[in-house]
């Protein structure tokens, strides 16, 4: 290829980018570095917890409250779903009730 290292070629390529492209590349690189830092932090915490040992059973009983309950004794009734379309067809509207033949306002045009 040519003379120079990989970093020199990357530097030249990044310097050629416009302002918007440079910001996008910087954002992507920053996100990648942030992900790597978080990965190493999580690995360090997990390694520390694995090396430090386990807890005693006494600390669990003293510091924590554990609720023991049988899950089958908790009864939650199933939801009751309704279909609004069926109810709308089954129940007559107010206009239909007023136009029934037995309605008082039907005979003489007066509701009272």
User: How far is it, in rounded angstroms, from Cα 20 to Cα 27?
Assistant: 11
User: How far is it, in rounded angstroms, from Cα 14 to Cα 21?
Assistant: 9
Q: Among 13-22, 37-46, 101-110, where is mean pLDDT lowest?
A: 101-110
Threshold 0.75, pTM exceeds: no
Judge whether residue 37 has pLDDT over 60: yes
Q: Where are the alpha helices (DSSP H) in 3-103?
A: 6-16, 19-52, 57-63, 84-90, 94-98
pLDDT, position 80: 81
Cβ within 8 Å of residue 5, ≥6 positions away: none
Q: What are the residue ranges spanned by the domains of the chain?
A: 6-55+63-96
User: How far is it, in rounded angstroms, from Cα 112 to Cα 109?
Assistant: 9
Q: Among 13-17, 18-22, 23-27, 76-80, where is mean pLDDT lowest?
A: 76-80
């Amino acid at each position: 290829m040519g003379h120079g290292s990989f970093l020199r070629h990357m530097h030249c390529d990044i310097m050629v980018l416009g302002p918007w492209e440079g910001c996008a590349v910087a954002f992507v690189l920053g996100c990648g570095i942030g992900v790597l830092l978080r990965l190493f932090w999580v690995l360090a915490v997990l390694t520390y917890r694995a090396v430090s040992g386990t807890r005693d059973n006494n600390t669990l009983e003293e510091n924590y409250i554990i609720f023991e309950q049988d899950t089958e004794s908790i009864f939650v009734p199933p939801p009751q779903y309704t279909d609004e379309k069926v109810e709308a067809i089954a129940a007559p509207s107010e206009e239909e009730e007023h136009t029934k033949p037995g309605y008082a306002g039907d005979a003489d045009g007066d509701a009272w």
